[in-house]
Structure 1
Amino acid sequence: MQCGQLVGQCSCHVTCENLGNCCPDYRTYCVRIAPESGLLMGGRDFVILGVTFDNSSLVKCRFNKEIYVNGYVDETGKAHCVSPLLYETGRIPFEISVDGGETYPHSGTWLSVHPGKVSESEKCTLENETKWQYYGTPDYDGTLTVKWDPNTFKEDTINIEVWGYEESGEPYSEQWTAAWKYLYTLVHNYANKGSYTFTPSPAPPEHSAYEFGSLRIVPSQLGNGARDVHSLWSVDHAMAWHLGEDFRKDSAGWAYKKCVDWHKNDKSLPNFLSEIIDCPCTLEQARADTGRFHPDYGCNIETGSTCTYHPGAVHCVRAVYGSPTYAAGQQCCYDKDGFQVLTSDSIGGSTPDRGHDWGSPPYKKPPKVPGFSHWLYDVISFYYCCLWSDNCDYYMSLRPSSDCRKYKPPKVASSFGDPHFVTFDGSNFTFKGRGEYTLVSSTYHSLTIQGRTQAANFENGSLTSVTGFSSVAMQEKDSDVIEVRLAENSTSLEVLLNQEVLHLDRTWMDLKGVFLFAGSNQSITAMFSSGAGVEVRGEGGFISINTLLPHEFMNQTQGLLGKMNDDATDDFTFRNGTILSTNAKPEEFFQLGANWQVTNDSSLFTYDSKFLLDNYQVKHDPNFLPTFSVQEDPNDPFTKDMNTLCGNDLFCRFDALTTRSLWVGNATKLAHNNHNNLVKVLQPVVSCGWLEPPKNGKKEGTSYLVNSQVKITCNKGYRLSGSSVRTCQQDGKWSGYTSQCVYGKYTIAL
């Protein structure tokens, strides 16, 4: 029996977290584990919490109802299993048997994590990783060292194995399959002391075809290549160090042939470039469009990563979701001035991916396997053409950067403070109802975003006659339901997944139909497959909410955040279609808000305490009378402090005065400023597209946005025909005439 089934049999609205409130035997079915997550390569030992078994129990774990792993009971009576090798990321359901697999009465969830998003402690480390991946090319020889935490294993000796990854079958067909394969053991019965240094020798010929793979460390008593056992994996890498003598004798020549073969094969595959999302025009836009783009962990200005594969760039982002048909990925890189870095200008330019680095649901099959498909189709080929040989033009011809001429920024609407609303079309109003309300409802992708408000407190603890958001719940189609709410201390955020409190031991979580990112600044961002993004922050004892919707949502929204249609006059619309004037009184806006209360049937919220059950049975409290206006007393010392803090920000002034708290007022001001900055950054930007330099000449300038200039000069012995300066105009076209460099002495500039 699954947790969800058990909940359905209970008489109260509960989850596995508090199932004992009305189902005394819930622990028989719902289990928690530690750790809760690990590398999708598997090998992590986890313990079942809260349940004790006897030593005669025959433990088995079944993942996704298809992968079976033998477990064990330790000396304390705790059952253990080991996470298996998976080809997908996200929350993987598993079941536990204690009778050798005859029945599986216990269930839980394992979080499978992308290789780029696990901590170093969860992997063995390749010391000087660059040397490992260039070994055999000029200037890279000698010894290699792998390191690990010896406390990972209780055994005295370990084996270090070499594994290779392959995808075989007809591309883009049902026969296309992915597999990790054990190749050979690098060393047997080696002391578990945390470090191993060796001089590589070429792999056996039958294994040298595997040019991308990983090391795995396992206890020595296990057989070679044993599946789904306690182990440590290294980072996936280009295995130059194990390639044959033909590579070592002439690495550049060997790589050139590989590059040409890849180029020929990739050209024969379907063209994915036309269906990937266009890049944002500026670095600011790329960082602001959080529903569709997320920082590339290999080139992230926020973490100080070095952008090894993109020299000249300071930050790259990746499209969160793969393209609709081919599950391809988009990458966009930017320089220190905030302009795109294009492969037409630099080897450091951004390159789209046939295999999205983060994979694409439902994963498992090529080219959707997280991380690994990307390595085969987009990374190892980069080594062939650009790193192991000087033939990068082959690679860039099939992986050109996308410019931003077709990029359409998302529209942003926000809710914050007491609470104030700024709609997608820029209208604003204040609604201080107490209850649960629909912020956004859209038939497009069946997106629903709901907000719950609660009364604010004065600094002395007494309740005020104003409210603010304490929780926001959201879902798209049949995705997981995400709820972000203030914790009991009202200073931190708590996340619920399908009405179960979620332990955030990762900053990034792959969930069903939604990605979740936990930022370092007390913020949570949900990214849905439609491209909708919801940013939630805890500020001033309330929650602030930024909702970003892509252009496809135009004329598809309703709710308190208005109709997204570039018409501010119809933003204040009741459910029945009646439109409220933009000059309406606060009392009328109160009626508008009450009209958008959620219903019992439509609510996405969690009611996991008697307080919530009692207080939100009525979705809008008609007895709560808010403060609609407040008088400023110039003789009040608080007014002077408020003036200094808020200036002309009316939202800040109102919230500070009604709560008598500069802390609340400041939080409102910050949230309002954040919204205004987003709106400013996400204004459309005109791009004229890449400008090709003339043959036998060169250009100065790599910005192709409106008002940017590109200067053209010719090589010695050639004269310029056409314009020497081209300017990107407001109509998206370059000024002047096509520039050419003609052999001769005299310049003919137009």
Structure 2
Amino acid sequence: RATHIARGCILSSPVYSFSVMHPVFLVFCNAVHHSKVSAGEKCTLVNETKWQYYGTPGTDGNLTLTWTHEALAASHINIEVWGYQETGDSYSENWLAEWKYLYTLAREAPNTGTFSFTPVPAEANYNTWDFGILRITPSTYSDGQRQVHHTHALAWHLGEDFRNEPAAWATAKCIEWDRKEEKLPNFMEEIIDCPCTLAQARADTGRFHTDYGCDIERGSVCTYHPGAVHCVRAIQASPQYGAGQQCCYDSTGTQILTQDSTGGSTPDRGHDWGAPPFLKPPRIPAFSHWLYDVISFYYCCLWSANCHFYMKNRPSSDCRTYRPSRAASAFGDPHFLTFDGLNFTFKGQGEYTLVESDLTSLRVQGRTQQARFPNGTQAQVTGLSAVAMQENNSDVIEVRYSEGLNLEVLLNQKVVNFSEQSWMDLEGLFLHSTADQKITVMFSSGSGVEIRGSGGFLALTVLLPEKFMNHTQGLFGVMNGNTEDEFTFKNKTTMSVHASPQQLFEFGANWAVGNGTSLFTYDTENLLNDYFYGEKHNASFLPVFYPYEDPADPLVEEMVSLCDSDPFCRFDVLTTRSLQVGNFTRLSHQYHKQTMLSQHRTKNYYPHCVTIISLSINLEFLDLAAVRLSLRFTENCLTFSSSFNSDLFFCHVFSKHPQDGNISKRQGDAGPQGAPQHFLC
């Protein structure tokens, strides 16, 4: 069958191996994203923490490697050790990446799916390679099926100098890395700032994605960020240096900063997921990141007590310049919530422009079809059945319900399969699918589209960064903070925001797409007849504008119990006679409200104290002998000194919380002469 190779995969000859084997070429796809390679195609190091620390005091004994033996059609296997390096001048044309075969750990081992061994220091010309991979191949030939373990610190094969004095060895490595960093360009100035809160980070799916090394959905196992419950990474690498951003949050949803904790967010010189053109350092997926940002963490923080060197070179970015993306949603029958916060219901049947932008040639189009009652007859309302999108010259993505009510994702008019990988790096975008079939499209501009489905209806949320202000049009309106021009036609005329449902029907019809601009796929007879050859907006279809709520209707009581006061849920239950449709609408509306709420959680958000504060206050008095002075802080000073024979006070505060202090000056019994208030943060 046809195989889709994602844009970030690296093809090379077997000499410079990058991972899972094709019969002719070697392809390393799991480097592009953590979920690239399925569990059956990887081998696993049992007790990986022990592997990482092997050779340090108190860490020894056997190590074990496991793999899916059925995946290799061989009775015996070889286990090879490979190392990675980048040579040449940094950020120059001669900067090159290389995987190098080092040695064979085991030959002609039985293909049982497990192998145990007691490590010994490698030969001198190999033990300087401190990170790499293990590769399992059939023992009969070097090309063909194989399995690899992900990149890891090769502590177990390092030399006697590491085993005898690991802290001293690591300290020397850490200092050497620090000196190299001082000579490299500052990438911090071009990476995006972090979202201020965990809620913002999880909502901004167009620009940030879960870091699988610290995922709240997977138990928050955050080895490199103690105290964190969740981390995200900026999806796009920085333009000039290919650097990455990482943002970590604690259980209160607060961003953790390296100034406060060694578990803080740390940006990356090499983006973990790489960056186009991928073959050049520091844009090699995963491996450049390991070379510049991970193994150095071992040197400075895990194997020695020199973490201050690492944090100096990888300080957290705060959220001072972060601005949340604006969200617009469509769901149910269908109901539209615009970027500026207006909501309306448009029940046209056809294909329509949801949003388009002249800034990046972004186009998101929606197709609606007539809904059905539970008994199969047609209802006089519609729902979203397909969404198609493109930005600039990117690949075209379409998400739709098939005629069998299965959710399908099409890439350039061909159905794609997520059974082998849930993440795809495509031309101009990333594509991600979750187990519960939430599809996320992340364009290179930072715009994002989320699509969910239930019972034949789609719900979508479009997220646009602030730079799209005054650059949008379509059913989601003009994103400018002003709802008065939300109903803007193609010819730039506007309609009142108090328009009737019938007038809104005319507004929606104006945004029907033509065949010349349609992004949709017409690969069935019904799609051809109903949408390609038929009207793009079915003017003969007259929907229900005002559903009747009959108190005697037994469905009404169930509707009230389900929907409570949600008007969209109630509308959809009445028009489709389906509690399932109403519930999907209710959940979609709640999701949108939660996304909107996350955008405003920086109000009254306390700043962090980022360093020790030394407060010096100079007071001048006419009669020093007659003055009694007091200094009070909401939290005690760590050190406090004062002199009543001079005009100086000193208070050194170290706290993660804002401090406010009152300095009161009393002269004789005349009462306070002044009480200036100082806020420290």
Q: Give the shorter-chain TM-score range.
A: 0.7 to 0.9
Partner residue, 2:46: 127
Matched, 1:488 2:403: yes
Q: TM-score, normalised by structure 2?
A: 0.88
Matched, 1:422 2:337: yes
Q: How far off is 1:382 after superposition?
A: 0.3
Rounded to whole Å, the distance in 2 between the matches of 1:41 and 1:185 is: 26
Select 2:82's aligned residue among 163, 184, 192. 163
Q: TM-score, normalised by structure 1?
A: 0.80
Partner residue, 2:669: none
Q: How far off is 1:171 after superposition?
A: 1.0
Matched, 1:504 2:504: no
Q: How far off is 1:249 after superposition?
A: 1.4
Q: Give the aligned residue type for 1:654.
A: F
Rounded to whole Å, the distance in 2 between the matches of 1:546 and 1:665 is: 18
Partner residue, 2:593: 676
Select 1:85's aligned residue among 26, 38, 62. 26
Partner residue, 1:412: 327
Matched, 1:586 2:504: no
Q: How far off is 1:711 after superposition?
A: 5.8
Give the direction of change, closer, same or farther, for the CA distance of 1:293–1:344 in structure 2 (3 Å limit).
same
Give the direction of change, closer, same or farther, for the CA distance of 1:696–1:191 in structure 2 (3 Å limit).
farther
Matched, 1:390 2:315: no
Correspondence 1:87-486 to 2 at 5 A: 114-115=33-34, 117-222=36-141, 226=142, 228-486=143-401
Q: How far off is 1:255 after superposition?
A: 0.6
Q: 1:477-506, CA deviations, whole angstroms, 9 ceiling, x for partnerless residues? A: 11111111113333x421111111111112
User: What is the DSSP-based 3-state SS (H/G/I as helix, E as strand, rest coil) of the residue aligned with 1:302?
Assistant: helix
Q: 1:59-118, CA deviations, whole angstroms, 9 ceiling, x for partnerless residues? A: xxxx6xx8699xxxxxxxxxx9537334667xxxxxxxxxxxxxxxxxxxxxx8535543
1:326–1:354 Cα contact (<8 Å) kept: yes
Give the direction of change, closer, same or farther, for the CA distance of 1:648–1:150 in structure 2 (3 Å limit).
closer
Rounded to whole Å, the distance in 1 between the matches of 2:135 and 2:28 is: 17
Rounded to whole Å, the distance in 2 between the matches of 1:482 and 1:151 is: 35
Matched, 1:665 2:582: yes
Q: How far off is 1:696 after superposition?
A: 9.3
Q: Give the aligned residue type for 1:32.
A: A
Q: Give the aligned residue type for 1:679.
A: M
Partner residue, 2:610: 692
Give the direction of change, closer, same or farther, for the CA distance of 1:645–1:194 in structure 2 (3 Å limit).
closer
Aligned length: 634
Partner residue, 1:530: 445
2:609–2:657 Cα contact (<8 Å) kept: no
Select 1:608's aligned residue among 523, 526, 531. 523
Partner residue, 1:19: none
Rounded to whole Å, the distance in 2 between the matches of 1:695 and 1:594 is: 62
User: What is the DSSP-based 3-state SS (H/G/I as helix, E as strand, rest coil) of the residue aligned with 2:344?
Assistant: strand
User: What is the DSSP-based 3-state SS (H/G/I as helix, E as strand, rest coil) of the residue aligned with 2:330?
Assistant: strand
Q: Give the aligned residue type for 1:495.
A: V
Select 2:2's aligned residue among 16, 25, 32. 32
1:696–1:714 Cα contact (<8 Å) kept: no
Q: Give the aligned residue type for 1:653.
A: R
1:435–1:454 Cα contact (<8 Å) kept: yes
1:41–1:85 Cα contact (<8 Å) kept: no
Give the direction of change, closer, same or farther, for the CA distance of 1:529–1:139 in structure 2 (3 Å limit).
same
Give the direction of change, closer, same or farther, for the CA distance of 1:40–1:569 in structure 2 (3 Å limit).
closer
User: What is the DSSP-based 3-state SS (H/G/I as helix, E as strand, rest coil) of the residue aligned with 2:217?
Assistant: coil
Q: Give the aligned residue type for 1:82.
A: P
Rounded to whole Å, the distance in 2 between the matches of 1:437 and 1:136 is: 63
Q: How far off is 1:207 after superposition?
A: 1.8
User: What is the DSSP-based 3-state SS (H/G/I as helix, E as strand, rest coil) of the residue aligned with 2:216?
Assistant: coil
Q: 1:551-573, CA deviations, whole angstroms, 9 ceiling, x for partnerless residues? A: 11111111100011111111110
Give the direction of change, closer, same or farther, for the CA distance of 1:735–1:613 in structure 2 (3 Å limit).
farther
Rounded to whole Å, the distance in 1 between the matches of 2:546 and 2:112 is: 71
Q: How far off is 1:723 after superposition?
A: 9.1
Partner residue, 1:744: none
1:41–1:84 Cα contact (<8 Å) kept: no
Rounded to whole Å, the distance in 1 between the matches of 2:386 and 2:43 is: 40
Q: Give the aligned residue type for 1:642.
A: M
User: What is the DSSP-based 3-state SS (H/G/I as helix, E as strand, rest coil) of the residue aligned with 2:349?
Assistant: coil
User: Mind listing any 5+ residue stretches in structure 1 that lack a counterpart?
Assistant: 1-30, 43-62, 70-79, 90-111, 698-709, 739-747
User: What is the DSSP-based 3-state SS (H/G/I as helix, E as strand, rest coil) of the residue aligned with 1:444?
Assistant: coil
Q: Give the aligned residue type for 1:376.
A: L
Q: Give the aligned residue type for 2:121.
A: P
Partner residue, 2:625: none
Rounded to whole Å, the distance in 2 between the matches of 1:203 and 1:40 is: 33
- Using the TM superposition, name which of 622-631 and 369-378 deviates more: 622-631
Among all aligned residue pairs of Structure 1 and Structure 2, give the percentage whose two residues are the same amino acid.
55
Rounded to whole Å, the distance in 1 between the matches of 2:677 and 2:381 is: 68
Rounded to whole Å, the distance in 2 between the matches of 1:277 and 1:212 is: 29
Q: How far off is 1:678 after superposition?
A: 1.0
Q: 1:306-363, CA deviations, whole angstroms, 9 ceiling, x for partnerless residues? A: 1111111111111111112111111111111111111111111110000010111221
Q: 1:4-38, CA deviations, whole angstroms, 9 ceiling, x for partnerless residues? A: xxxxxxxxxxxxxxxxxxxxxxxxxxx525xx679
Matched, 1:643 2:560: yes
Give the direction of change, closer, same or farther, for the CA distance of 1:238–1:423 in structure 2 (3 Å limit).
same
User: Mind listing any 5+ residue stretches in structure 2 that lack a counterpart?
Assistant: 16-20, 616-632, 643-648, 664-675
Give the direction of change, closer, same or farther, for the CA distance of 1:38–1:147 in structure 2 (3 Å limit).
farther
Q: Give the aligned residue type for 1:326.
A: Y
User: What is the DSSP-based 3-state SS (H/G/I as helix, E as strand, rest coil) of the residue aligned with 2:218?
Assistant: coil
Q: Give the aligned residue type for 1:643.
A: V
Rounded to whole Å, the distance in 2 between the matches of 1:711 and 1:341 is: 23
Q: Give the aligned residue type for 2:167.
A: A
Give the direction of change, closer, same or farther, for the CA distance of 1:692–1:649 in structure 2 (3 Å limit).
closer
Give the direction of change, closer, same or farther, for the CA distance of 1:385–1:113 in structure 2 (3 Å limit).
closer
Rounded to whole Å, the distance in 2 between the matches of 1:561 and 1:406 is: 26
Correspondence 1:10-89 to 2 at 5 A: 31-32=1-2, 81-82=22-23, 84-86=25-27
Rounded to whole Å, the distance in 1 between the matches of 2:488 and 2:36 is: 44
2:260–2:610 Cα contact (<8 Å) kept: no
Rounded to whole Å, the distance in 1 between the matches of 2:35 and 2:641 is: 50
Matched, 1:521 2:521: no
Give the direction of change, closer, same or farther, for the CA distance of 1:191–1:40 in structure 2 (3 Å limit).
farther
Rounded to whole Å, the distance in 2 between the matches of 1:477 and 1:579 is: 27
Q: How far off is 1:428 after superposition?
A: 1.3
Q: How far off is 1:684 after superposition?
A: 5.7
Q: How far off is 1:283 after superposition?
A: 1.0
Partner residue, 2:481: 566
Give the direction of change, closer, same or farther, for the CA distance of 1:85–1:168 in structure 2 (3 Å limit).
farther
Give the direction of change, closer, same or farther, for the CA distance of 1:592–1:400 in structure 2 (3 Å limit).
same
